[in-house]
Amino acid sequence: MEKQYDVIVVGTGPAGATVAAQMAKAGQKVLMVEKGAYHPSWLLGKQIPALLHFDKLGLLSTREGMMVARCITVGGSAVMSCGSAMPPYPGMYERVGMDLSEELKEAHAYMRIEDDFPERLIGKGQMRLMEVANSLGYEFKKMPKFIDPTKCVGGSCMKGCSSGAKWSGRVPVEEARRYGADLVTRSHVVRAIVEQGEAVGVETRQGKKYFGKTVVLAAGGLGSPLILRASGVPGAGDKFGFDALWFTYGFHKDLPTVNDIDMGLGCSSFVESDGFVLSPVMHTWGMYLASATVGGGWSYLPKFAKFRHAVSIMTKIKDDLGGKIFDDGSFSKPLTDNDWKKLRKGEEIATRILKAAGCTDLFSCKPFAAHPCASVRIGDHVDTNFESKIKNLFVCDTSAFPESMGLPCVWTCTAQGLKMAKILKERLGVPVAKAAPLPRSG
């Protein structure tokens, strides 16, 4: 006799893992089904081993050849994130008649977001850039982080966090397991099992079936629409966003400092007016090689020798929804004229700041992306309870975003996860309590 779960969660990124932890804590029988492996923590914090967590070792790309970073591992892409926390794009939920404000507050506490990250970890280089940018009239501020400064040892977060300072989906995954949830890894879910218009379980590529009263798809912006489509919602993945970004580089002997964390600062002055955010990133050799050389073309290779002196300012845009995710998992997403306009305006400002800071030899890499999202969309293929037209089949992750974000997504994903759990508790008749803050770890 197959085990019957109360809740099956597909994907263990920040959204899915949060739902799983909340439901397990409420005494529900929870199963997490994850495509990736539980990569051991000793792989974190090292450049080459970090690539094992990324889909196609970091070389996943659109049909047009644009690189898109996402992780296939327990804990989701947040495991390799920069730990930057920003609220959702203004008005994004209000426009679809949803109020996420309470859950955003709860998620802030749950993830222990640090609003005043210490200067010693942001680093002298970025603090100097902040001075220069502000003197030019661009308001750069310290970036709030879901990183515990007392544990953080500095350096690039995009290699994974070896000190356990950064919050990721792994924290609620472990909480869920402590409360009795099951986790199966290396299990690629292909569809929900639907009987008489109701989801009753999921099936994996290996042919394994799991049964439960409710199914929550949280396989990320590229994963969930495929599963939803294969389950009988044909329009899912018809278009999507991915927050295209590029780095504008300059070189300066004294600016980058070895322990600067990624995205120590942010400038959100252009978010509402122009649809982009600016943030400095001091690259490790691996990131520099990937973005400047692979992303930008081999003509950048000669500059590689100078990577230690490379300073970059990232422009990340709220891109137009478009493209398509195909049944074989490949996807197309050409940038629109409007997207290019935003990228170029960001580049212009970044160039001005870098020049004023004394950087030389400026160039921008080719655009790439790291936030696939809005491929299912609240208001289109799911309602404001995250439910699809198939009863008891929910979608709760970046794919449910009503629009592309153009901003860091993890805080919002976690808030969505908390909201999803409240909705499920009500459905299943479980008392609703506030989420208690968790200790961060990896």
Ligand X SMILES: Cc1cc2nc3c(=O)[nH]c(=O)nc-3n(C[C@H](O)[C@H](O)[C@H](O)COP(=O)(O)OP(=O)(O)OC[C@H]3O[C@@H](n4cnc5c(N)ncnc54)[C@H](O)[C@@H]3O)c2cc1C
Question: Do β-strands 30-33 and 324-325 pair in parallel, antiparallel, or remain unpaired?
Answer: unpaired
Measured distance CA(262)–CA(243) in Å, rounded: 18
| Residue 248 burial by Cβ neighbours in a 10 Å radius (0-12, 13-18, 19+) | buried
Q: Segment near ligand X (CB under 6 A), from 129-137, 213-221, 308-316, 375-383?
A: 213-221
Residues 6+ apart with CB under 8 A from 169: 12, 13, 14, 16, 17, 18, 74, 75, 76, 78, 79
CB of 140 vs ligand X, minimal distance in Å: 16
Q: Which residues pair with 391 in a beta bridge?
A: 198
Q: Which is nearer to ligand X, 48 or 356 (CB)?
A: 48
Q: Which is closer to ligand X, CB of 6 or CB of 34? A: 34
Q: Tell me the one-letter amino acid at 173.
A: V
Indicate whether 201 belongs to the interface with ligand X (CB under 6 A).
no
C-alpha–C-alpha distance, residues 220 and 8, integer Å: 15
Which residue number, 215 or 359, has a Cβ lying nearer to ligand X? 215
Min separation Cβ 416 and ligand X, Å: 8
How many residues interact with ligand X (rule CB under 6 A)?
41
133 vs 173 by CB, closer to ligand X: 173
Smallest gap from Cβ 51 to ligand X, in A, equals 11
* 335-374 residues near ligand X, rule: CB under 6 A: 370-371
Measured from the CB of residue 337, what is the shortest distance to ligand X in angstroms? 25
- Binding residues for ligand X restricted to 49-108, rule: CB under 6 A: 69-73, 76-78, 80-84
Report, in Å, the least distance between residue 220 CB and ligand X. 3
Instruction: Tell me the three state secondary structure of residue 280.
Output: strand
Minimum separation from the CB atom of position 37 to ligand X (A): 9
Contacting ligand X within 233-272 (CB under 6 A): 263
Single out the residue of 188, 239, 283, 381 in contact with ligand X (rule: CB under 6 A).
Answer: 188
Neighbours of 147 (CB within 10 A): 28
Which amino acid, one-letter code, is at 393?
A: L
Smallest separation, CB 370 to ligand X (Å):
4
Pick the closer one to ligand X by CB: 250 or 286. 286
CB of 400 to ligand X, least distance (A): 8
Nearest partner of 89 among 335, 360, 396, 398, judged by Cα: 398
Place of tokens 């690539």: 51
Q: Compare residues 367 and 408 and give the one whose CB is closer to ligand X.
A: 408
CA 119 to chain centre: 25
Q: Which of positions 138-177 make contact with ligand X (CB under 6 A)?
A: 158
DSSP string, 92-126: TTGGGT---HHHHHHHHHHTT-BSS--HHHH-HHH
Whichever of 61 and 73 has its CB closer to ligand X, that residue is: 73
Cβ burial of 305 (10 Å; 0-12, 13-18, 19+) is exposed
* Residue numbers 393-412 binding ligand X by CB under 6 A: 397-398, 408-410
What's the half-sphere exposure (Cβ side, CA atoms, 13 Å) at 41? Answer: 11
Q: Which residue has the tokens 């739902």?
A: 19
Which residue, 260 or 397, is less far from ligand X as judged by CB?
397
Q: How far is the CB of 86 from ligand X (least distance, A)?
A: 7
| Nearer to ligand X (CB atom), residue 28 or residue 398 | 398
CB of 8 to ligand X, least distance (A): 11
Residue of 122, 189, 325, 421 that binds ligand X (CB under 6 A): 189
Cα–Cα distance for residue pair 334/322, rounded to 1 Å:
8
Piece of 89-97, 219-227, 233-241, 268-276 that binds ligand X (CB under 6 A): 219-227
Residue 14 vs 250, nearer CB to ligand X = 14
Specify the residue, 50 or 311, whose C-beta has the smaller distance to ligand X: 50
Q: Measured between alpha carbons, how far is 243 from 223 in angstroms, rounded to an integer?
A: 17
Shortest distance, position 76 Cβ to ligand X, whole Å:
2
Which residues, 1 to 40, sit near ligand X by CB under 6 A? 10-16, 33-36
Q: Outline where DSSP puts E strands in 305-392.
A: 310-317, 324-325, 331-332, 360-364
Q: Which is nearer to ligand X, 158 or 353 (CB)?
A: 158
Cα–Cα distance between 50 and 287 in angstroms, integer?
A: 11
The only residue of 88, 144, 220, 442 in contact with ligand X, by rule CB under 6 A: 220
Q: Where are the alpha helices (DSSP H) in 376-435?
A: 410-428
Minimum distance, C-beta of residue 157 to ligand X, in the bound complex (Å): 7
CA 383, CA 198: separation in Å to the nearest integer? Answer: 16
Q: Are strands 209-217 and 393-395 parallel, antiparallel or unpaired?
A: parallel
**Which stretches of the chain bind ligand X, using CB under 6 A?**
10-16, 33-36, 69-73, 76-78, 80-84, 158, 188-189, 218-220, 223, 227, 263, 370-371, 397-398, 408-410, 413
